[in-house]
Amino acid sequence: MLGLWTAGELTARPVWEALSARLQALGTGDTSGSAGGTLWDLRQISQLDHLGAQVLWNHWGRQWPQKIEVEPAHRAVLERVAQFSVARPAVPAPGFSQSFVKLGEGLLEVVHHFTDVVALVGRLAINLVKLVKRPGEGPWRDISGHLYHIGATALPITALVGFLIGVVLAYLISQQLKQFGADAFIVDILGISLIRELGPVLAAILIAGRSGSAITAQIGVMRVTEELDAMRVMGIAHSYRLVMPRALALAVVMPLISVWTTVAALVGGMLAADLAMGITPSFFINALPAAVDAANLTLATAKSVVFGVLIALIGCHFGLRVKPNTESLGQGTTASVVTSITVVILVDALFAVLFKGIGI
């Protein structure tokens, strides 16, 4: 053995490949302490660091070979490596116990998320009472800023998506109604489906993906840059200045965006119905109030308010849980969007079951 056995030398890929082939040709130690008759002459090694010594020690099977010639300085390095080197722990085979432990960890994680969200809701309720008692001290500038960024800037994309959904839905429905000569019922189907269900849910999903992720990212960046710690040191409550403005803004904005998206979808459906079935816009507009009860609009507005508050709470919850590193920020943002969309769909299903007799 000769040359440099250092980290800088051994990490080069060609050197490492050549060294591996050479070590395999020399053989390894065994449990009896012999090394297959090989004499390990390390006196020609000019420099040996702990990485080079670890390579040799691992190749010897973590035991000294019977025949070895080494300089005292290099022997000292090898002895330190032998003293502090630990065998890699065996990976446990997958079984029922590991699966049970993972299930328990998952359940505990869900419980922790639930308790944190409940605590967040409680603090939000306390902050709302404080805002009502002292409205002059409220973060109105933050609320107005969120109203603009979450609401006004989302109008173009929600209108476009709503319009296209209305067109697609009208064309699909028209193909079925033509078979039964029930062209006029397209107004009833589009009105009920868009006003009661698709409009609020579509708007909520778009806002969850657009603004829910932004909320998590904003608060998460504040965690990474230690702004949240600075707020705590200054005595500024996170829930009052970060959570409440966003929750109030989304509670106000979501019904308006829901109505906006629904109107855009109805316009798209009306134009598609005119082109596909000859249902004129005037007939569509006149037949819509009779086809859709006003209770459906009330239910859709109530759902939108709930959707908005939930999206804000989930976004803030995952933002506050972000750890001060970029990897956690990305994971928190992804989890926020997925959870928000899932919760929106679940709550919509709950509304559909609880209020199935209203407006139908």
**Tens digit of each residue's pLDDT (9 = 90 or more) over 127-178:** 999 999 998 888 999 999 999 999 899 999 999 999 999 999 999 888 888 8
Name residue, tokens 């998320």: 113
* pLDDT band with cut points at 50, 70 and 90 for residue 32: very low
Return the pLDDT at 359: 65
Q: What is the mean pLDDT of the chain?
A: 85
pLDDT tens column, 282-327: 988 888 888 888 888 899 999 999 999 999 999 999 999 998 888 8
- pLDDT of 30 reads 45
Q: Please tell me the distance from the alpha carbon of residue 176 to that of residue 291, in angstroms, as a whole number.
A: 19
Give the CA angle between residues 168, 347, 209 to the nearest 5°: 60
Quick one: tokens of 324?
């001060």
Residue 279 has pLDDT above 90, yes or no: no
pLDDT(47) > 70: yes
Separation between Cα atoms, residue 53 and residue 125, nearest integer Å = 63
Q: Which of 218, 253, 254, 211 is nearest to 238 (CA)?
A: 218
Three-state secondary structure readout of the chain = CEEEECHHHHCCHHHHHHHHHHHHHHCCCCCCCCCCCCCEECCEEEEECHHHHHHHHHHCCCCCCCCEECCHHHHHHHHHHHHHCCCCCCCCCCCHHHHHHHHHHHHHHHHHHHHHHHHHHHHHHHHHHHHHHCHHHCCHHHHHHHHHHHHHHHHHHHHHHHHHHHHHHHHHHHHHHHHHCCHHHHHHHHHHHHHHHHHHHHHHHHHHHHHHHHHHHHHHHHHHCCHHHHHHHCCCCHHHHHHHHHHHHHHHHHHHHHHHHHHHHHHHHHHHHHHHHCCCHHHHHHHHHHHCCHHHHHHHHHHHHHHHHHHHHHHHHHHHCCCCCHHHHHHHHHHHHHHHHHHHHHHHHHHHHHCCCCCC
Note the pLDDT of residue 115: 92
Find tokens 């709503």 and name the residue. 162
Query: What is the C-alpha to C-alpha distance for residues 190 and 179, in angstroms, rounded to an integer?
Result: 17
Whether the pLDDT of residue 62 is over 70: the answer is yes
Position 10 pLDDT exceeds 50 = yes
Tell me the pLDDT tens digit for each residue of 221-277: 999 888 988 988 988 888 888 999 999 999 999 999 999 999 999 999 999 988 888
pTM as predicted: 0.73
Please tell me the predicted confidence (pLDDT) of residue 261. Answer: 94
Distance CA 341, CA 19 (A): 54
What's the confidence (pLDDT) of residue 14? Answer: 61
Q: Where are the domains of the chain?
A: 2-84, 112-354
